[in-house]
Amino acid sequence: MRVGMSVERTLHHFPLDPASRQVRLALGEKRLPFVEVQVRYWEGPEEFLKLNPSGVPPVLVETKHQRTTVIAETRAILEHIEEQEPEPALLGREPGERAEARRLLQWFDRKFDNEVNGFLLHEKMEKRLLRMGAPDLAALRQGREALRAHLGYIDGLLQTRDWLAGRRMSLADFAAAAHLSVIDYFGDVPWKDFSTAKTWYMKLKSRPAFRPILADRWPGLAPAAHYDDLDF
């Protein structure tokens, strides 16, 4: 019997949060059912802070045999899911692939987040949610330049690999796609200039686990016209 059959899962998340999307993709790829609770984390809801004092999504709550476990922070959740549900393997089957997948997870969650999301998502999303005024054009330009550099890096990896970390799709692909999908929601990914990255993203975008991501909408934040188009 699979572990997932006896576990009740609730994911507290924000739909346009790249970290939350990584967990949703992993759960979806492993076909693990879960209940979604959307969180307006910037408002600091008391019940959510009890689950994760840092105040950031995602948080996964699991109940099995009347015992509840709360797992906070993206990497902890992803590693937990992989340990509890090893198939399909999303960290690679060989030590080298696993190490490379973990390296790229760190790359996107730290470097990409700082250099791209810290400008584009802050200006286009966080400022609207927090009512902080109009986007800063210089910050947007800096974020777009960094995005092009990262897309070039993805293109380069895929010249010699089937997927980002090697021969198999992994959490590294989900991490990259989760970050890029939110940027793409706002129409800022220059796909036409990075054909290899675009083909890779199209493969991921066509997977069943990605469908809920493409259905995401948030009041006052309309997606780009091509956002949910599989043949964009």
Q: 18: alpha, beta or left, given left = phi > 0 and alpha = psi -120 to 50?
A: alpha
Would you call the peptide bond into 95 cis, given omega within 30 degrees of 0 as the criterion? no
Tell me how far apart the alpha carbons of residues 51 and 74 are, in angstroms, rounded to a whole number: 14
Tell me how far apart the alpha carbons of residues 219 and 190 are, in angstroms, rounded to a whole number: 25
Question: What was the pLDDT predicted at 6?
Answer: 84
* Cβ neighbour number for residue 121 with a 10 Å cutoff: 22
CATH code for 3-84? 3.40.30.10
pLDDT in tens, 170-185: 999 999 999 999 999 9
Question: What was the pLDDT predicted at 3?
Answer: 44
Residues 195, 184, 91, 210: what is their CA dihedral angle, to the nearest 10 degrees? -100
Domain 95-207: which topology? Glutathione S-transferase Yfyf (Class Pi); Chain A, domain 2 (1.20.1050)
Domain with CATH 1.20.1050.10 in the chain: 95-207
Counting Cβ atoms within 10 Å, is residue 138 exposed (0-12), middle (13-18) or buried (19+)? exposed
Tell me how far apart the alpha carbons of residues 39 and 57 are, in angstroms, rounded to a whole number: 8
Question: Concatenated DSSP letters for 94-149?
Answer: SHHHHHHHHHHHHIIIIIIIIIIITTHHIIIIIHHHHT--SPPHHHHHHHHHHHHH
* Cβ neighbour number for residue 92 with a 10 Å cutoff: 22
Spans of the chain below 70 pLDDT? 1-5
For residues 34 and 53, is the Cβ–Cβ distance under 8 A? no
pTM above 0.85, yes or no: yes
Domain with CATH 3.40.30.10 in the chain: 3-84
Tell me how far apart the alpha carbons of residues 153 and 115 are, in angstroms, rounded to a whole number: 14
